[in-house]
Structure 1
Amino acid sequence: MFTSDAISYVPLFGIAAIAIVIAVLLTIIKVRKTAKVSFIAYFALAIIVFACIYTASHPGMMLFALLLLFTALLFIPYCIMLAFGKPQEFVRADESEAEVEEKKPEVVVEEIQVEKIDLIQKGKAFITLASDSFSDKDGMQTLLDSINATCVEVTQANGGAILMVDEFEDLITVKSFNGDFPPPYKLPEDLPHKPLRVSTSFKYAQFPLRDNIFGEVATAGKAEVLPVPKMDERIFENGPEDFLKLGSFIFIPLRMPERDVVVGVLALSRNPDTDPFGDKEFDWAQTLAGFAESALKTVLNFKQYTEKQELTKEAAIASNIQLSFLPKKLPPLPGLSIGTYAEHTSGVCSDIYDVIPARQDRIAFIMMDVAGKGMNSLLVMTMIRAMFRLIVNTTQTAGTILSWANRGICSEPNADHFASVALINYDPGKRKFQLSTGGSVPVLRYNVAKEAVEKISVTCEPIGIEKTTSYKDIEFTASQGDIIICYTDGLVEALNAQGQQYSLASLTNIIKANAKLPGKDIANLVKTDIKKFVGNETLRDDQTLLVIKIQ
């Protein structure tokens, strides 16, 4: 006979079998991804199977009941999560996939993408033009005009302008002009209010970086849209003519991000009879301005690189020619001991000295420091040197020769640099000096009788400043042991690591302490002393020294 306990094993094994079947079904659901399956379900089913098997082998309902209670408790947090979690969208059985697709906002997304893609394509065209501009002398202008025209087209503006900043003169200048652009600044009083005259004036206009909307935007570096410009105090309306009436404006600074410097401003205008610019046009203009910045960066960096290469090449040629001007070997000079020192800075080309035995009664010494650097300085240096070599063998005085050379340089239209010059004529038979100076090249004399160094030159305008300048002669008779010293400012203004100058006092101390030595030895001692003072610091200006000792 079967007891009731024996019969109870049948539903236990049935429950276990059903739990196993449910586990298999959950696995199929998870593999096919038709619904999410939590690990809690698997864990609960495993407990149920274990409880059934354990109860069958160990009679007693207590453990089975406890395990069943625990299983039920496991489902509570899972059900809470499903009940209060984020709702999921499900497709109804009678709803087709096409109907579901129609509910998704794909059309709006596609429209936005098309607009963005169009802007990207137009922006890429800027980069292409930038690369093409390298081989075209008008490439920069072509690029600016293209950027301007594209921005006008995309934003449906009536006119546009691009202005570029001149950082050396603190000005912003119109470089590209397109369409109708009523001036938002006060027109000159004498300018007729005619469309052609006004637009022509604007095409070539320059503005300071203040007191006008273009300069203010460039200085602030902030993009602005002005739907009602009359309410902005930076805007001036020149009316009442229709073509001068203001509509709306967009102003966007063009900057170089790596330097955080504004190099230009993009300006767009709409006429008052059209809808003002909105956020959409403002966003499009800023997107295109970003591409324009990348294109301009490419062009400006390439221009800077080529200019630097040209300057380096030019400076190397100028330096080589400058060195060729220095006397290779000084001729024997009766009654004199000569010492020289010349240290040239790479790419500067400003200092030169010369010694010219012009006649039996005249030895000419020249010290020259030309302002600027490169080929322009070399041109002025070459002309002055050639003039001196032609004129010093005459009977004219040092002051007259300097005045002639000054008129010659001032009359030369291509000589836009000036020069500081000292011309010293010496008569060895009479021990007589005659000198004249212009600019910042001083002449010192060590007076052996006084054992002191004194300045004997006078201050006068450099050569090349004023055509009518007259240079004076200074004459004196030297004694045996006297020393004439001439130098350029790069020597006494040389800096050490602490930013201190070598100074005139250091130079005169060396001369006084070694006045009994020959001129060559004195110059070498100055050279050693200044190199020790400067150390490893970079030379900022040419250093040139001429020491003339009376034997």
Structure 2
Amino acid sequence: MQNSILEVELLFLLIEKICIVVVAAYLITRTKYFHRVIDKQPSFRDRLILTLFFGGFSIYGTYSGIEIFGAVANIRDLAPIIAGLIGGPFIGLAVGLIGGIHRYFLGGFTAIPCALATIISGVLAGLIYQLRKKEFIGIPWAALFAVSMESFHMLLTLLIARPFADALQVVKEVGIPMIGANSIGVAIFALIIVNLIKEKRTSWERDRYYAELERKVYEMEKLYRLGVQVSSTLDINVVLDFCINTTVEVLEARVGFLLLADEQSSRLFLATMAKSEDKIPHSQGLSSTDSVRIVKPQKVWLEPGKGIAGRVAKDKKSLLVNSVDSKERLNRIYENCRFEVKSVLSVPLLVKDKVIGVIQVCNKRKDVVFRKEDEHLLVSFAVHAAIAIENAKLYQEVAEKERMKKELEIAHQLQTSLLPENPPQVKGYEIGAMSVPATEVGGDFYDFIDVSEGKIGFVIADVAGKGLPAALFMALSRSFLRAEAIGNLEAKTVMEKTNRLISGDAREGMFVTAFYAILDIAGKNLRLSNAGHNPPLLFHSSTGECEELRIEGIALGAFAEARFQEKEIILRKGDVVVFYTDGVVEAIDNNNQQFGMERLIKIFHDKPYLQATQLVELIKKEVEQFTEGQPQFDDFTLVVLKVV
């Protein structure tokens, strides 16, 4: 009974020592050296480090032992057993030698059997590693091997140690505790190793899964990038060829077709096709577009809903058929295939739910059928291809718009050339003028006309509409008015004759508002006539008063037989006359408020001393500050006449 209690106590003491070993062992299993041993790819350095590590544990197992009757109950054999089972004979022998030689030199009547048992444990564990083809034997077998080796250890002690009676007594006292402690230690260590192997297997499977996922992502990314490249091309033939070429290449198809929908009849026609070269091995894949050649087929028409492509166009859904029937094979689009069509993948080309075509591939190379993954890839690519094809179709429209833009630029240059480069220099007067169109070509214009000796005509006008038509109508109106003004001293007569000419050529909805004034330079008076235009302002610097020069009259071109009025005013020194278009007073700010007459009049009240050109620039600046970056909605035209 007393011996049993002693054995149990000794067992628990040894297990306590094992716990320290196990903690350290767990840490070493997390190192890169141990991982390379488990992966069966250890370097000499890895073997050396693990040998020293387990050799040190073997020595620790001796020192942490408990001396009984001149012998030491220990866990020394645990280290070479584990080292041999995971590292093979080299590591097992080396660790066994370190632990065994150390034990031998400690002396005692059991030194030789203990040293031999430690060395043999490492060697036999390494041989098991080799017999198992470097596979770990698992937890139960590792624990059973530890029991066997400790039992062999006890047997050697009985066979070699003398006196025999003492050896027998030692075996009785330490045999069961050492067998139990070392087998438990090996089992715990084996559990750690098995879990590590499972972790690495799980990690490997995860890496394999991620590698497969990355491959899929790569394929998707490749198709996406190719789609982006296709979308950047505007030549319809290049786009079509590139789309089908890329599809055949990436999906490793033997042939591919691209059919377009006829907008008038809704029928499909074969636009282009591509074939892969039969000489390329399937295992190599298609590495470049040189592996695929474009074939320009005869135009083949498919009726709506007929054949696989027709059904795809009608249903607006992709279709994968891996068992093509004989009726489908008779379809004329397969005439150039020269092989039996077995597998077909067809996807619609959709733009805003409208079918513009169908892209279709047949037969994976080496007779491998298409899969759902291929269908998903082609559907993704078809999105980009459809946009690219639609963009190419719209290219002519874009080119046409660009042509019109060029025309507008030319018209703008024409309009600018028709406006006076500089106001006339007239003694006793200052004249300033400016016109800023709201679009490329505006409808506003002003002009100065040499009416006769000592007489200058002032014109400011606003043509209905914007852009090129307004510019052309503006040029026509200016020419008519200029022609009628020369030599004619009555402002209203000029307006009436000009109106008849414009009315004869004006299309429906085209008209011009205009204000015309004839300045008598010597007499300092103005003869005025208005055709539905904003009344000019007359500012008297001497009194600070401002008045509108209102005269009745309708727009030029509105009514051929219209009559116009005339008014004459006397100018005094310091007087300022401002001719303007509605783009000045109707300019709006961020709160949708108009610049208005009051702000315009205030400028003259505040700065009556400025020159005419300075007043023009100041008005422009005030309007720009008022609008605070708001887009210019209407043309901005000013003419300022100041008496000095």
* Structure 2 length-normalised TM: 0.46
User: Could you say what secondary structure the match of 2:564 adopts?
Assistant: coil
| Distance apart, 1:487 and its partner CA | 1.1
Measured in 1, the distance between the counterparts of 2:385 and 2:148 equals 67
Aligned to 1:326: 419
| Distance apart, 1:509 and its partner CA | 1.1
Measured in 1, the distance between the counterparts of 2:137 and 2:407 equals 78
Tell me which amino acid in the other structure corresponds to 2:451.
Answer: A
Measured in 1, the distance between the counterparts of 2:183 and 2:264 equals 84
Aligned to 2:516: 423
| Distance apart, 1:528 and its partner CA | 5.0
Aligned to 2:529: 435
Are the aligned partners of 2:146 and 2:182 in contact in 1 as well (CA < 8 Å)? no
Are the aligned partners of 1:127 and 1:291 in contact in 2 as well (CA < 8 Å)? yes
Measured in 1, the distance between the counterparts of 2:232 and 2:583 equals 46
Counterparts of 1:128-527 in structure 2 under 5 Å?
131-133=234-236, 175-179=263-267, 254=351, 262=352, 265-266=354-355, 288-297=382-391, 300=394, 304=398, 307=401, 311=405, 313-333=406-426, 336-343=429-436, 347-360=440-453, 363-370=456-463, 375-393=468-486, 395=488, 397-410=493-506, 419-427=512-520, 429=523, 431-438=525-532, 441-446=534-539, 451-454=545-548, 456-457=550-551, 460-461=554-555, 466=558, 468=560, 470=562, 472-480=564-572, 482-494=575-587, 501-515=594-608, 519-520=612-613, 522-527=615-620
Deviations 1:449-474 (A, max 9, x none): 8923325155845x56x565836334
| Distance apart, 1:302 and its partner CA | 9.0
Measured in 1, the distance between the counterparts of 2:473 and 2:437 equals 17
Measured in 2, the distance between the counterparts of 1:51 and 1:469 equals 134
Aligned to 2:43: none
Measured in 1, the distance between the counterparts of 2:130 and 2:434 equals 95
Greater relative contact order (CA < 8 Å, ≥ 6 in sequence):
1
Measured in 1, the distance between the counterparts of 2:537 and 2:413 equals 30
Are the aligned partners of 1:337 and 1:518 in contact in 2 as well (CA < 8 Å)? yes
Distance 1:353 1:13, change over 3 A: same
| Distance apart, 1:547 and its partner CA | 1.7
| Distance apart, 1:387 and its partner CA | 1.6
Are the aligned partners of 1:266 and 1:289 in contact in 2 as well (CA < 8 Å)? no
| Distance apart, 1:22 and its partner CA | 4.0
Over the aligned positions, Cα root-mean-square deviation in angstroms equals: 6.3
| Distance apart, 1:400 and its partner CA | 0.8
Are the aligned partners of 1:51 and 1:63 in contact in 2 as well (CA < 8 Å)? no
| Distance apart, 1:344 and its partner CA | 5.2
Tell me which amino acid in the other structure corresponds to 2:472.
Answer: L
Distance 1:308 1:430, change over 3 A: same
Q: 185, 201, 205: which is aligned to 1:70?
A: 185
Measured in 2, the distance between the counterparts of 1:302 and 1:50 equals 92
Measured in 2, the distance between the counterparts of 1:509 and 1:335 equals 25
Tell me which amino acid in the other structure corresponds to 1:323.
Answer: T
Deviations 1:338-387 (A, max 9, x none): 33234456834443211102124853211133455554443222222222
Tell me which amino acid in the other structure corresponds to 2:354.
Answer: V
User: Could you say what secondary structure the match of 1:177 adopts?
Assistant: coil
Measured in 2, the distance between the counterparts of 1:474 and 1:251 equals 72
Deviations 1:161-191 (A, max 9, x none): 6xxxxxxxxxxxxx453339xxxxxxxxxxx
Deviations 1:99-119 (A, max 9, x none): xxxxxxxxxxxxxx9xx99xx
Counterparts of 1:69-88 in structure 2 under 5 Å?
69-75=184-190
Measured in 2, the distance between the counterparts of 1:397 and 1:17 equals 133
| Distance apart, 1:37 and its partner CA | 7.7
Measured in 1, the distance between the counterparts of 2:388 and 2:258 equals 23
Distance 1:370 1:47, change over 3 A: farther
Higher helix share: 2
User: Could you say what secondary structure the match of 1:397 adopts?
Assistant: helix
| Distance apart, 1:485 and its partner CA | 1.8
Distance 1:530 1:498, change over 3 A: same
Structure number with greater Rg is 2
| Distance apart, 1:265 and its partner CA | 2.1
Distance 1:336 1:72, change over 3 A: closer
| Distance apart, 1:292 and its partner CA | 0.9
User: Could you say what secondary structure the match of 1:526 adopts?
Assistant: helix
Are the aligned partners of 2:517 and 2:526 in contact in 1 as well (CA < 8 Å)? no
User: Could you say what secondary structure the match of 1:356 adopts?
Assistant: strand
Tell me which amino acid in the other structure corresponds to 1:179.
Answer: R
Aligned to 1:26: 129
Measured in 2, the distance between the counterparts of 1:457 and 1:253 equals 62
Measured in 1, the distance between the counterparts of 2:192 and 2:545 equals 107
Distance 1:22 1:406, change over 3 A: farther
Measured in 2, the distance between the counterparts of 1:400 and 1:42 equals 120
Measured in 1, the distance between the counterparts of 2:112 and 2:525 equals 142
| Distance apart, 1:293 and its partner CA | 1.3
* Unmatched runs of 5 consecutive residues or more in structure 1: 88-112, 147-153, 162-174, 181-222, 226-249, 255-261, 270-279
Are the aligned partners of 2:553 and 2:563 in contact in 1 as well (CA < 8 Å)? no
Distance 1:224 1:421, change over 3 A: farther
Are the aligned partners of 1:353 and 1:365 in contact in 2 as well (CA < 8 Å)? yes
Measured in 1, the distance between the counterparts of 2:450 and 2:232 equals 61
| Distance apart, 1:319 and its partner CA | 3.8
| Distance apart, 1:389 and its partner CA | 1.6
User: Could you say what secondary structure the match of 1:389 adopts?
Assistant: helix
Distance 1:50 1:328, change over 3 A: farther
Measured in 2, the distance between the counterparts of 1:384 and 1:435 equals 16
Distance 1:129 1:516, change over 3 A: closer
Distance 1:79 1:285, change over 3 A: closer
| Distance apart, 1:64 and its partner CA | 4.2
Counterparts of 1:522-541 in structure 2 under 5 Å?
522-527=615-620, 529-530=622-623, 533=626, 541=634
* Unmatched runs of 5 consecutive residues or more in structure 2: 1-70, 72-108, 162-166, 203-215, 245-255, 269-314, 318-346, 359-373
| Distance apart, 1:296 and its partner CA | 2.6
